[in-house]
Amino acid sequence: MYPQMLASAILTLLAAVPLALPSNTLAQTAAQNSAKGDEVLLDMGQAFKRADRKKLTALLPQAQGHALEAWAAYWELKARLEDASAPEVQDFFKRYAGTYQEDRLRNDWLLLLGQRRDWGNFAAEHPNYRMGDDREVRCYALLVDHLRLGASAPASLPAEVLKNWLAQRDADDGCTLAADRLYSAQKLSSAHVWRKARLAMEANRPRAARDAVAIVLPEAGALVSELNANPAKFVALKAANTKLRKELLLLAIIKMASNDPDAAAGAMGKSQLAQLSNEERNWAWGSIGKQAAQRLSDDALAYFAHAPDSGLSDEMLAWKTRAALRAATGAATGPSKAPDWAQVLKATAAMGEDVQREPTWVYWRARALLATASTAPERAEATRMLEGMASPRGFYEMLALEELGEKISLPPRPAPLLPEEQESARLNAGLNRAVYAISIGLRSEGVREWNYSTNLAKPGGMSERELLAAAQFACSHAVWDRCINTSERTKTEFDAAQRFPTPFKDQVLQRTAQIGLDPAYVYGLIRQESRFVMDARSGVGASGLMQVMPATARWTAKKIGLANFSADQLNDRETNIAIGTGYLKLVLDDLGGSMPLAAAAYNAGPGRPRAWRNGPVLEAAAWAENIPFAETRDYVKKVLANTTLYAALLTGQPQSLKARLGTVGPRAAAAPEANTELP
């Protein structure tokens, strides 16, 4: 459905949907909408991005009565929130009570109150905050409880502050302040604070590391900046330097490892590092091992061996496990070798309970048990682990099915939606506003309104049947990303048609048949790239259904003979599919027909997978798990899982994920690459 037709259809529907607003019903606001009104909303959205307060204030009266008036009012007030009065804010809360925009502004207001240290008003407003998904706001709230309750505050409060603080990648005021106050009150230890500093340095967040260090060592700000800029020089300083603390030395080793793990390992043998405690040395070796594993270094396991598994963090243990999966040895051109299953068992056993339950580590631990089992009970335990996770719901869940000797089939469809279930979704005001916003070009706002409507607009969120009905409402309006994401949230019901839709089917099938490409692979990739959003645009400039970069598109257009191509055509559906499938076919041929390698190349560029494939010949699941980039690692697994389910959907036949994965190894051990000119 074209956007203009969709907007018109939604407006007609909005007129039948009541929404409690102070002076207008949604029917009245919908009746007053027009193309001009939509343009006002779009202009205000752009003005908000530019922080143009004057234009927002000037345009706001023209947005009154529009179905998306709450967005206009939110943008205008948010842009001047620092200067707004408390009565203005409270009036907004009352006028738009129950809406996403009300709670979004409350989130913003609570952050501002926290920054102002206005704890009285913060405490009064926080109980009304429904979303509760902002860690910084949560830290402020916990700090208020600490200040208000003192010794009678819940014993769990410091641990919750620490959990939120450690989870914040970037420096923030709320969690840092709460940690500082709790440290001063001796509710958090220096070890907790140094842990935050270490994690921040490992994540290359020097400001967050500096802020943490300042809590326990206020005078060390300059030293943290110094060691971040030149860790090797800092490590070389003599221990007699009174400003040199062993914790700062460890931060320098961590930073050094992120630049050059081998150099950091060499520094660990120097005499001044003897001042590190066992716990600190374990962390240092774990950080060095992790960085080496992320570089696919054969030395990773040797570095990890300097520290007991009990002294490593879960993230370090994850990379030790990955290194063990890749530890196969032998001639590069020979047959694939088995991973170091004993190390896989040891490392996964040392992980925290929550991490152990993740499908990734359940699967590999079960595989390791099967490979090393010497007794029937051990084999039975491995089988129970696989049976407990086996399903078509994810990459490792599918692999578990195949380990148990089963193929991958689509689950039975849920019972058809009842008319009243469909009608409830059709008349849901929040869903209608969301679809309308998306239809006029306010996709980000529409997505947020949709997510709120399906999560928090009613206590407890939507039931599974309500989620299916909402997903179907999105599908019926070709809002494919909301259809997929909403349907995926059901735990027991599995509607494959919603989760794996096939829009533009005739075109995709025709194009893939022309160039000899698996249509399931194309659908699996599009689903991961854009969720079928035709005007999707990434932060780096990739466009359209198949998220093609302009330079790649121009190169591909020449290769496939597409005349008179220009980058502005990438949002044209037919052109995007032609360019995207053409490029995917070239990449796939270049990499010997390996779907995992081609998916990695599509996401990260062809040069990186060529380097990542060097080493032993591995089963592709182990190779994919060792991809250094988290985004690409996740991407490859999801594209291949998507492909397998799309194949089941398109053919009606059970499928094998393992057959699509195959093995990955150096070029000499695999099919020769056909094209070395890829950009």
Instruction: List active site positions.
Output: 529
- Beta-bridged to residue 618, according to DSSP, are 664
CB-count exposure of residue 218 (10 Å: 0-12, 13-18, 19+): exposed
Given the structure tokens 């490593």, which residue do they identify?
A: 312
CA distance 306 to 316: 13
Counting Cα atoms < 13 Å in the Cβ hemisphere of 427 gives: 10
SS3 assignment, position 408? strand
SS3 assignment, position 387? helix
| 517 in Cβ contact with 579 (< 8 Å) | no
Q: Compute CA distances 440 → 38, 50, 406, 576, whole Å.
A: 7, 20, 46, 22
The angle at the Cα of 390, spanning 389 to 396, to the nearest 5 degrees, equals 80
The angle at the Cα of 507, spanning 484 to 543, to the nearest 5 degrees, equals 60
- Strands 663-664, 618-619: pairing is antiparallel
Helix axis angle, 221-229 relative to 206-216, nearest 10°? Answer: 150
Backbone angles phi, psi at 312, to 5 degrees: -105, 150
One-letter amino acid of 66: H
CA distance 311 to 283: 7
- In 323-474, the DSSP E strands lie at none
CB-count exposure of residue 511 (10 Å: 0-12, 13-18, 19+): buried
What's the CA dihedral at 21, 25, 29, 32 to 10 degrees? Answer: -140
Which string of DSSP letters, residue by residue, matches 605-669?
Answer: -THHHHHHT-SS-EEHHHHHHT-SSHHHHHHHHHHHHHHHHHHHHHH-S-B-HHHHH-EE--GGG
